[in-house]
Structure 1
Amino acid sequence: MKRITLLILSVLVLISCKKKSAEAIQEAVVVQKPEYQSFGKTIIPDDAIASSSMANHFESMQVGDSINSKMQAKVIEVCQAKGCWMTLNLENGNEVMVKFKDYDFFVPKDISGKAVIINGKAYVKEVSVDELRHYAEDAGKSEAEVAQITKPERTFSFEADGVLVIQ
């Protein structure tokens, strides 16, 4: 009789432990998905490549080359006039200038430091002195800083048709 009682108690203990561990595993699996603020064309966050991978693509491109891409990166700076461009960190000491397709949309001016996912066309171009000075003025640089821009630059650029700002 003692053996049967002991056996029943053991089975009950094992069943209760199994139930609690299954609940614990279920709770651990619940992962909160990030929320996004969307601008431009509706895009999904899936299959975005890391900015460091995109940096490798840019390095191998020549002026005039372009590729369609979706990437995730951190915002360095946003146009303070109206949010019509932003720069993103490529994590290799470089940055990419992002403009928005046909100026159909803009991003909030206060997203510096936030992560974004952008979709569109990545390309390499040579930016003129006038355009570089215009961007410097938009960014709020001083007249002296703007005047120091004297030669064109080979830059990494992106024309985004959709942007997700990760909240």
Structure 2
Amino acid sequence: MKSITLAIICVLMLNSCKKKSEEQPEIVPEIEAIEYASFGKKIIVDDAIAATSMASHYKTMNTGDSINSKMIAKVNSVCQAKGCWMTLNLEDGNEVMVKFKDYGFFVPKDIAGKEVVINGKAYIKEVTIDELRHYAEDAGKSAKDIAAITEPKRTYSFEADGVLLKQ
């Protein structure tokens, strides 16, 4: 009787070991890590929202309103004097003007078209004529284009404390 019991136990153990090896998780190929150059405060990509989602938030805001946010977007233009501001595409026909907190860091001047992650404060601002002309000058616009700026503009703005530039 002992030998039959021992044989049954051995068969059950072998079957349980066989099932375990069959139930191993599927091996998923590694995802290539994306590299970023970091500017300003060290930030991570996690929980960043898409530009289109940020555009929806801006549409519900009034002048003076602000929210803390982190978003991913493509760079439209960069200050060609120092890299002290950039505009990002919100993918809905609008763009956001990004300045850097306390003028504490700059970004490279040749990053138009590249993807960035920015962290900081999104807000609505009314930009004066003088400021609009200054930005146009920094962007290398012609004297005629600069002179054509005659009205203040309500803009989507962002004060970034950290930026990640996708390499």
Q: TM-score, normalised by structure 1?
A: 0.84
Q: Which residue of 1 aligns with 2:144?
A: 144
CA distance in 1, matches of 2:51, 2:29: 28
Give the aligned partner of residue 157 of structure 2: 157
Instruction: Name the aligned partner's letter for residue 120 of structure 2.
Output: G
The answer to whether 1:78 aligns with 2:56 is no
Aligned to 1:65: 65
User: Which protein shows a greater Rg?
Assistant: 2
Question: Partner of 2:128 in structure 1?
Answer: 128
Amino acid aligned to 1:74: K
User: Alpha-carbon deviation of 1:33?
Assistant: 1.5
State the Cα distance separating 1:133 from its structure 2 match: 0.2
Write the letter of the residue equivalent to 1:118.
I
Partners of 2:72 and 2:33 in 1: CA distance: 16
Structure ranking higher in helix proportion: 1
Which secondary structure state, in structure 1, belongs to the residue aligned with residue 39 of structure 2? strand
Partner residue, 1:32: 32
SS in 2 for 1:80: coil
Q: Which runs of 5+ in 1 are unaligned?
A: 1-21
Give the letter aligned to residue 153 of structure 1.
K
Letter in 1 for 2:149: I
> Could you tell me the percent identity over the aligned residues?
71
Query: What TM-score comes out, normalization by structure 2 length?
Result: 0.84
Alpha-carbon distance in structure 2 between the residues aligned to 1:110 and 1:130: 25
Instruction: Name the counterpart of 1:12.
Output: none
| 5+ long unaligned stretches in structure 2 | 1-23
1:30 CA displacement:
1.1
In 2: Cα distance, 1:110 partner to 1:138 partner: 14
Structure 2 counterpart SS, 1:57: helix
Q: For 1:75 and 1:32, how far apart are their aligned partners in 2? A: 23
Q: Which residue in the other structure is 1:3 paired with?
A: none
* 1:118 alignment counterpart: 118
Aligned to 1:14: none
Compute the RMSD of aligned alpha carbons.
1.8
Q: Distance in 2 between matches of 1:123 and 1:166?
A: 24
Could you say what secondary structure the match of 2:132 adopts?
Answer: helix
Deviations 1:55-79 (A, max 9, x none): 0000000000000000000000000
Q: What is the SS of the residue equivalent to 1:29?
A: coil
- Per-residue CA deviation, residues 21-75 of structure 1 (Å, 9 max, x unaligned), is x9xx64x521101100000000001000000000000000000000000000000
Tell me the residue number matched to 1:107. 107
Deviant stretches of 4+, over 2 Å: none
